[in-house]
Structure 1
């Protein structure tokens, strides 16, 4: 090749490729379903949306189209060295001869999903903790969440009636659930499908150095409603009734070193300012032997004031209504942002963001301070020009380059593109490239950048020993512990 594709990648195959011809690449798509009785696997048919393989030749690419084989999709005539494998909007840069692009998923493999993300609710919850209305991000008041242990569903409840402060019963037909995990599943009583309803209450967390009162939200009461049948149709309310109970509680000390995050602010972007620090305790369905799978809400959320930079030390607590064989994951994160004026003459401004985050077994955050373990990548550039100022790129396939982080080791990188949509006045994800931790540059493949568009890019460095980016990029990205740090560009336009 005339230029490095992803500098640091080797031309050798990876372990586990035995039995596949040396000029072939086998792609499989295995969904792993995590349930209370174990893990089941299902091989997915890729014929409707087959993967594509791009072979780089300097500044150009050749496209290879594979064909269905038993158990997967196979490409032949693939030369040695790194290639780009496309699945959906994701590109994986790999030299492996077998790649599985499957995902992990919670719930029964035979779950039927509706077409609806929103459903009305009919609530009759008694013995709730005294209700507190929202005051600020640091004093979040009371809220309700739903999660299931049998099917893949999590969502926060929207209450459209005002609940008076101090109220201990919620009786309303004017509520709804918006699913955060995708289409709402069909519940089947014969298969034991149930729901947890969790009430989060506001707790005090001391004061900031300037005297600002701090608070956090944590599970206070909960109930798991009995098995039921329900088919979402967007109009029929889902009835939820129960007597809320106090679940087992955990009290713990937290030492959160916020200056250790803000010290990296200008590494994320030279013009960045500190934004929002967040600490959470999160239930991990069915344990953490295979990492943190799926999303079942939060047990605790602590959000500090914008740009906070002090050592936070406090004893906190949360209730946990979930089964004893579930795990708890801790997450400490700090976001950064740059406000930029759009280069379209409109005068509108948008927020460009990145963050530094760490996920680990919750007990690890009790045993040691919460602080970053990896810093942002350095010297992010587009075609050799630093990416921290606005400009028009010169081609549809520019080279993105960077230097490794100053702190921590890197097992993988993820380069995400975010495109501005004028009709929504927002920046939305528009494709990503996944690379080995040894990479220091990558050329964008054809078609990834749309013409006459506005973008910015976010490069995430991952420190996670279990992340096998070249062979199993999506199953293994949920391994613990995992740390991430972002560098991001300014807005750029395409010709």
Structure 2
């Protein structure tokens, strides 16, 4: 149910913010009881912790993670500003301790993510959906035996103005959200269909969970159908998909192994529709095209209504499919004022959020081997649905400006000679950035996800010297810098759990491709 030829990526990636006041993030007073070892003896250690917080209908269960095998280190900038001193940690109860870390800034590096901080207590904890004792399988794909009745008349995909039918399988008891696809499409108009060779594909790529009926694990089978909704500003037909029928299946046992078919025998029932009105000002997104990249073209735009299992108290926890999905043709602009409706089969305890995004991409591809790449960037607004539609939907922050590499225009293709180039930018015209996220994407001839490295810096910065290990020789990259105005994100203290606190506002600028010698 995602925009055609746009891979689903979590719009929360890269969101960041800075605390109010004149201090650099993380430079305030230490938490009580953590700033000193004893009177007069400064604490020079840094403790990195990580808890998994599992959300279910009965509450949140916190389970500490073992960081002993995590690719984790601290990078301390050298006094001359070039290069870093690397420090390894020692596993301790509750996390990883790094000793003799001097006052000042340093990066906490976790795999390919780099967080600039001064904090002496740093939290890599995450929120998760479902039981804390759920067992993950080894596969993110499963065959399925689908026997479905009570379908709304099946629709065929034609184009964005006639997006057709789709099926999704969602749990909430365990972390399961997947598309259900048939080996052969049902005839148009079908209201029942049997396919012993259907298949499930997890949305996020994480392993599918084991279903345990003794723990009450159940799944929803949802059908999304297209609903015509007038015309676009350009004059073409507009339609969106929404959940029109669903069944919450009884608990059953299933262990995904990539071979055994999951039994999905469902008699779907109509889903009550919830109406709302919105004014989506596309032109307020497209006006920032040149700031995203002076030579870019308008690309995909989409509006979604998304369920949030077990409530919004911690923000957007868990991607569990869609309740409504509106994808527009490339290059659409103007204003869409419309009354829409969405089906919601979930309990009232689940939350509902809205997402509006507009993407821009390079006008010509970057060819690496047999693959064409289109460097791209996005402007996004994400909030509780009732908050998002309370006024016109428009950006809250615009892209950074004047992206440069070692002082030269980064929007022009070039070769980078330095092993540690300086990336710089200017602040956006609209909004006040609370943080910037610098993303390096290495372009390869593989059709898998492209390797990335991310650097999170506070919003009072406009440059970053890359570590020596950031760029590989003989490679092609592009650079994206995100300005983030989200008020509640704290990448210098708790990057993962705080990245889900609503609202989320971000905007990207992106470079042309550049090569390393």
**TM class by shorter-chain length?**
over 0.9
| C-alpha distance after superposition, 1:368-411 (max 9, x if no partner) | 11111110011111111121011111222211111111111222
Alpha-carbon RMSD: 1.9
Residue 159 of structure 1: how far off its partner (Å): 1.4
Shift of 1:314: 1.2
Alpha-carbon distance change, 259 to 226 in structure 1, aligned in 2, over 3 angstroms: same
- 1:49 paired with 2:81, answer no
- Whole-Å Cα distance in 2 between the matches of residues 335 and 173 of structure 1? 38
Structure 2 counterpart of 1:332: 356
In the TM superposition, 1:181-330 aligns within 5 A as 181=204, 182-330=206-354
TM-superposition CA deviations, 1:443-495 (whole Å, max 9, x none) = 21232211111111111111111101111111100110111101111111112
CA distance in 1, matches of 2:212, 2:510: 45
Alignment of 1:69-468 (within 5 A): 69-181=92-204, 182-342=206-366, 349-424=372-447, 428-468=450-490
Q: Per-residue displacement from partner, 1:313-334 (whole Å, max 9, x unpaired)?
A: 1111111001111110000000
Match of 2:510 among 469, 488, 495: 488
| Alpha-carbon spacing, 1:233–1:16, altered in 2? closer, same or farther (3 Å) | same
Measured after TM superposition, the shift of residue 209 of structure 1 is: 3.7
Residue ranges of structure 1 left out of the alignment (5+ in a row): 1-5
Task: Indicate if the aligned counterparts of 1:219 and 1:300 stay in contact, CA closer than 8 A.
Answer: yes
Question: Partners in 2 of 1:62 and 1:335 — Cα distance?
Answer: 38
Runs of 4+ in 1 over 3 A off after TM superposition: 6-15, 339-344, 346-349
State the TM-score, normalizing by the size of structure 1.
0.95
RCO (CA 8 Å, sep 6+): is it higher in 1 or 2? 2
How many residues are paired up? 488
In the other structure, the counterpart of 1:31 is 52
Shift of 1:9: 3.8
Equivalent residue of 1:367, what SS?
coil
Is 443-452 or 276-285 further displaced after alignment? 443-452
Alpha-carbon distance in structure 1 between the residues aligned to 2:198 and 2:251: 21
CA deviations over 1:329-356 (Å, ceiling 9, x no partner) = 0000001000445477x69642111110
- In the alignment, structure 2 segments of 5+ residues that lack a partner are 1-17, 36-41
Q: Which residue of 1 aligns with 2:34?
A: 19
Distance in 1 (alpha carbons) for counterparts of 2:241 and 2:502: 24
Instruction: Give yes or no for contact 2:440–2:452 (8 Å, CA) kept in 1.
Output: yes
1:31, 1:42 within 8 Å by CA — same for their partners in 2?
yes
C-alpha displacement of 1:18: 4.0
Q: 1:3 corresponds to which residue?
A: none
